[in-house]
Homo-oligomer: A and B are copies of this chain.
Amino acid sequence: MPHGPGPGRRVTIVDVARHAGVSTTAVSKVLRRAYGASPEMQARVRAAIEELGYRPSAAARGLRGRTYTIGVMLPDLRNPFFADVLDGVEAELGGTDYQVLIASAGNDEPAEARVTDAMIDRNMDGVILIAPLSSGPRLERIARTVPTVVVGRHGRSAVHDTVADDDLTGAGLVVAHLAALGHRRIAHIEHLEKDPVRLTEMPNAIRADGYRRAMHAHGLGEHIDVASTTYTQRGGYLGAQELLARPERPTAIFAGADIVAMGVLDALAEAGLSAPADISVAGYDNTTFAAFGPISLTTVDQAGHQIGVNAARLLLDRVADPARPAAQVRLSPTLITRRSTGPV
C-alpha cells in the first residue's frame, strides 16, 4: 500500500520523496530534468510519481510562464455545428502540449463576460471565442490581455484574428436555390439582433441581411417574411408556428441554422405537414443532423472543421508572437442540396 495522502489532499513533492526513499532535492532534480540524477534515481522517482499520481502544480508553472491551456467559448453545447468547429481545433492542437477547455456562454452577454473573465483569471495561453456577443471594445480588451481568435463574427480588429464564413453569400445561395425551384413566398427565421454593431458583425444578422438582399435581387422583395426568434431548436419551432399562422403561408422556409431547421421540422410534423411535400425547408451549417438520412436537409456547408483548424493555427501563431498583425480568414460557403427542398 503506497503511503499516499488521505482523501482530498494533494500529493506533494514530499510524499514522492518519502515514497521513493530519496530527498526532495533529488525529486526536484528529476522533475527539472537537471543534471546529477542517476538513471536509477530517475527510475525510482518516476515510479513513485506514477504510483502516487503526483502532478506538479500548473498554477505554480503558470506563474513562471505558459499554462498550456486554450479556452474555447461557445454559445450553446446543443448546436452540433460547434462540435464540428471543436473537432477542427482539437485536430490542430493534437500532438501539442495544449489542453482545450470549453465553456458554454448560453447565448447570454453577462454569462459570456463571466466566461471570458474566468479564462483570463486562469491564465489561459489563448482563447477562441465562437460567435461572441460582447461589444467590440470588450473583445479588444480581452485580446489585449490574452491572445484571442474570434470565430464566426465579422468585423476587423487590430489586436485579434478572425475566422468567419461568408454568410452573405451563403444566405444568397439558399434563396437562389429556392427561387430556382419556383418558390416566391420564401420566409426566413433569424436569431433576433438589435444591437447596431452586432447587426453588422454577427453571423445571424449577416445571414438575415443576405436573405433580404437576395430576395430583392430575385425580384421577390414583396415576399420578404422574417420570424425573429433564436438559433435554437425551440427558436425554430416557435418561428415556424408563427409563419404557419400567417394569412399567406410560405412555401419555403430558410432557417438560419440547422438546429433551427430541426425545430421547423418538429413544428411541421406537429401540424401534420412534411418537407418538401408541403413546405420546403433549408438550414445552414451542414451538421451531422442535416446529413441524417430521414431528415436529409438542404443546407449551407461553412466547413466547421476547417474553421476550427484555422482558428487553432492562428491562435498558436499569436501565442508565439502576440504582437503580430491581426489576420482575417474568410471561408467560402457551398450549398448542399438534399431532399428537404423541392419544386413549389
* A residues neighboring B (CB under 8 Å): 4-11, 52-53, 55-63, 67, 69, 71, 77-78, 80, 82-83, 86, 90, 99-104, 106, 114-115, 117-118, 120-123, 138, 141-147, 158-159, 233, 262, 265-270, 274, 288, 292-295, 318, 322-323
What are 18 A-B contacts defined by CB distance under 8 Å?
A7-B143, A10-B146, A58-B59, A58-B121, A59-B60, A59-B63, A59-B123, A71-B101, A77-B77, A77-B82, A86-B104, A99-B103, A101-B101, A101-B118, A102-B104, A266-B293, A270-B293, A294-B295
CA distance A53 to B159 in the complex (A): 15
CA distance A52 to B144 in the complex (A): 9
CA distance A7 to B158 in the complex (A): 9
* Choice from B7, B80, B99, B102 contacting A322 with Cβ under 8 Å: B7
- Contact indicator B101/A144 (Cβ below 8 Å): no
A121-B288 contact in complex given A8-B147, A99-B103, A293-B266, C-beta closer than 8 Å: no
Residues of B within 8 A of A323 (CB): 6-8
Residues of B within 8 A of A262 (CB): 292
CA distance A269 to B270 in the complex (A): 21
- Contact indicator B78/A90 (Cβ below 8 Å): no
- Contact indicator A294/B318 (Cβ below 8 Å): no
- Contact indicator A11/B103 (Cβ below 8 Å): no
- Contact indicator B6/A122 (Cβ below 8 Å): no
- Contact indicator A122/B294 (Cβ below 8 Å): no
* Choice from B53, B80, B103 contacting A142 with Cβ under 8 Å: B53
Residues of B within 8 A of A295 (CB): 294
